Structure formats: C-alpha cells, structure tokens
Chain A
C-alpha cells in the first residue's frame, strides 16, 4: 500500500518534470491512504503509520467541518512508553524551578481553583504534508491529515505561574510530559519556551470539545499554544519548570527546526550545514475536505466543495477556488468566524461541472496580513520536511 503510494507520487513528480518543473519541487501530499482496520483507544480507525509510538492521521473528509471530532483527531507521540493509566488520585501538575513557592495541583484543583477559559484552536504537526516534498524529506510521510481543530478548555498558564510566584524578569519555561523513553540515555520529550512566547492565550487544557481529553491526545492535561505547531503542545503534562537561562535540549536544538532564512528552505542534497530556527508559528493554509480525488459526480450536478482554512491567528481573509487549473480564482463562502482567529474557518463553493472527464479543484487561502497560500511547486525544500502549506488540489471525475 505504502509502496504503491510512493510509486504514484513519483509518477506525479515525473509528470510535473515533463511540463518543465524541477524534479525537486514539492507536489501534493499523499492522499487517499488506507484507514487501518484496527481502532486505537477512544478513536475510530484512522490512517496508522506506527503503533509504538502511535502515529494516527485523519482522513480528508474530516476537514469538511470546522471542529474535528475527538475520535478522529490525529495522534503523534515521540516516546515508546506512554502510561497506560493515569491515576487522578496521584496525578499532579508540578510547578518548580525559579518560583517563590514550588506547587503541585490535582486535576480537580486545576478545574476549580483557576478561572476556566476556552479557546478554539488548530493543532497541527510541523511535519503535516511532509510527503509533498521531493526529494523525500526525512520523517514520517504524513499526508495532509496531521492537523485538527478543537475547543480547548482549561486554566491560563499565566494564572498557574502567578500562583507559584515568578521571581525573574526574564525566564524560560520547560514543559515535561509523562511519556518515557526505552533507554535511560534517551532525552525526554521536553519543550522549552521563552516568556515572550507565552501570552494569556496559552492554557493548560483539561477538556477537548466538551469532553475530557482522549488518552492519546494527552489526558489528563496538555498545553495549548494557539498559533504554534503542535511540537510544543506537551501532552500528559506533568511539570512546568521555570529557569533563568535556556537549557540545551535535544527536542529543541535538533528536532523541529527549519533553515533560518527568508524562504526557510535549502538546497536538497547539498549537505551544507545551514543555520536553523524552531518551526514555531503556522503559515496560511486551506485544505479540501470534500470532494476527494477520484470522487465521481454527474455532469451539471451542483457540487459543493467544502474545506477549512487557518493560519497562526492573524486571521483568514479569503479562500478562493479555481476550477480551471489556476487561471482564474473565485471567492468561496466563509463561515462567520465565530470560533475566533485561531480556529479552522469553514468554506464552501458550489459549481456545476460542465465537462466530462477529470476536473481539477484548487483552493487558496489568504490571511489578513496579505500572506497567500503558495502553489506546491513554489515551496522551497527543507531537510525535515516541515511547514508544507501548498495550495490543495483534488481531481474528481465528471460522469
């Protein structure tokens, strides 16, 4: 199955080369991957790249709605040992390091002793869409489904830190999760963020879409950093440690980084060491939820294309659709934006397919800062295959 997909993809790349594009341009990410016949806890069967650690991707049709259901929300862990049970009697969130008072909270305390706040926010893996890159970038070859959008409820990180009392003007916070490595020597999955990056919108969430967090999405609490890629949204959060200086950590200094230049790209295969920076905030993107590649529709039927668009929180201004291969674009209808600037915006666009055969549908998002979703072939390569945001394309069949 995977082999066939890669074969298909290399054909697509070869096809692009034939019309004059470079062999080393991005194309569309894998699409239509088979859903596993095995369901993970609290999940419906999903595209399953690995069981240990669990790596689950959502299918395309999940993205025709603004809120991603918990049981279809993507999953990505780094360490092989995830606790199989979290006992709320012993679970504590600890706050330590450079604080006035080192404290620890039960889940119940987090729920009752702090003002509950809600934010609807996209959670996206930095490697989402990686399979679009050519040559193939290192890492799991995700299609476009390592992303989701949920309503998160929790306590403000700021309120929790204030309770412990901050002593320093300037500080870093390290976030620790409960997952463990198999080797003692393996670095734990710890993320670190500077004070400046942690505004009032950052929360320690204990609810996802009005339910407790699914186990595989970080039960009982996870960090929510709207606008940022999910690498810093630590799951099964156990510790917040305040430090004066930046600590050197593997998962900060080596993983989840892109070249530190204007296009965040590099020459494939050059093996030159480039200066890098953390992937941090998300770029502007739209994705088609319906129809899918190969969907059959009747001639002159009213076809409604549905999908979602998002960015890092600057706000989506417009999603436009092209049905003539990108020559002309027309605005789609956007939802009312009531879920806020960090959420998926739903869009829809209806047209009458008027020619038999293959019909290409392309969608392009623009945000309020004027940033426009690029064509896949306009995106420069990076060795980690991060931050893919090419214009989404599906090809349907009109019968």
Chain B
C-alpha cells in the first residue's frame, strides 16, 4: 500500500512541478555599520524592521533628515521607543551618517 502511494505521489509530482521548493532562505548580509555610542539602541530598535543596509544606503544626511526618519518610524510605522532612546538614535545617526548640517 505504501509503495503504491509513493508511486502515485511520484507520478503526480511532475504535474505540480514547482520551481520554488520548500522554504525560501533570504540570505543574511553582514552590512558594515559604524560602532559608537548608542549603537546598542540602534541594534535593538532599527533591526526590528530593517537591515543596517537600509541606514547606510540613505547617504550622508542632515540632522533634520535623520530626526524626520526616526519620527516616521515612530509615528507612521509604530516603533516602540522612549523619548530618551529617540534622542540617542538621532545622535548616533547624525554622528556617523550625517552630512554635518543641521537642516
């Protein structure tokens, strides 16, 4: 009986042939992010939703830009973050991925 079932299954396979077999594995890429004060907060908050690549590939930006991004993550995307950590994240981003301009 088991043998019979196997044959049926095997003969059915080509009909239902899928190029996508089983679970997909999206690879992990170790993006090189700068270490520094408040990195622990960045790691805890930002990685919840996106990779470091998402930060690095925004290009160097103003403090107002990073502040706006953090606000967007909080208000539009629902990031759960304290006031204190919000300040830390902005400080880190502007220090390491800033363009030196406040606005």
Contacts and interface: CB of A to CB of B under 8 A. Distances in A.
Interface of A: 2, 6, 36, 38-42, 48-55, 79-80, 82, 84-86, 88, 131, 135-136, 138-141, 181-187, 211-212, 215, 219, 250, 254, 269, 271
Q: Which 7 A-B pairs have the closest CB atoms?
A: A185-B78, A50-B53, A183-B78, A136-B59, A51-B29, A49-B57, A50-B51
B50 A80 contact: yes
A224 to B, nearest CB: 20
Given A55-B53, A183-B48, A140 B58 contact: yes
B77 interface: yes
B76 interface: yes
B78 A84 contact: no
Contacts of B41: none
Contacts of A52: 26, 49-51
B interface majority secondary structure? loop
Contact of B58 (A88, A138, A219): A138
Interface of B: 16, 18-20, 22-29, 31, 48-51, 53-54, 56-61, 64-65, 68-69, 76-80, 99, 103
A269 B77 contact: no
6 contacts: A2-B56, A50-B31, A79-B49, A80-B50, A140-B54, A141-B58
Contacts of A219: 20
Contact of B69 (A138, A140, A184, A271): A138
A187 B59 contact: no
A227 B60 CA distance: 32
Contacts of B64: 271
A85 B18 CA distance: 12
Nearest to B72: A254
B57 A141 contact: yes
B99 to A, nearest CB: 8
A40 B57 contact: no
Contacts of A49: 53-54, 57
Given A85-B23, A254-B76, A141 B51 contact: no
Contact of A80 (B22, B49, B61): B49
Given A84-B23, A84-B25, A138-B69, A212 B57 contact: no
Q: Which secondary structure dominates chain A's binding surface?
A: loop
Given A84-B25, A185-B78, A51 B58 contact: no
Contacts of A140: 54, 57-58
A131 B59 contact: yes
A215 B20 CA distance: 7
A269 B78 contact: no
A212 B19 contact: yes
Given A183-B78, A212-B20, A271-B103, A41 B25 contact: yes
Contacts of A135: 99
Contacts of B80: 183
A6 B103 CA distance: 19
A141 B58 CA distance: 6
Contacts of B16: 88
Nearest to B76: A250
B35 to A, nearest CB: 16
Nearest to B28: A51
B78 A138 contact: no
Contact of B53 (A48, A88, A184, A215): A48
Nearest to A80: B49
Contacts of B58: 136, 138-141
Nearest to B52: A50
A9 to B, nearest CB: 9
A186 B72 CA distance: 11
A215 B48 contact: no
B27 A42 contact: no
Contact of A183 (B56, B68, B79): B79
Given A38-B27, A80-B49, A85-B20, 7 more contacts: A36-B29, A50-B54, A51-B28, A138-B65, A185-B77, A212-B18, A212-B20
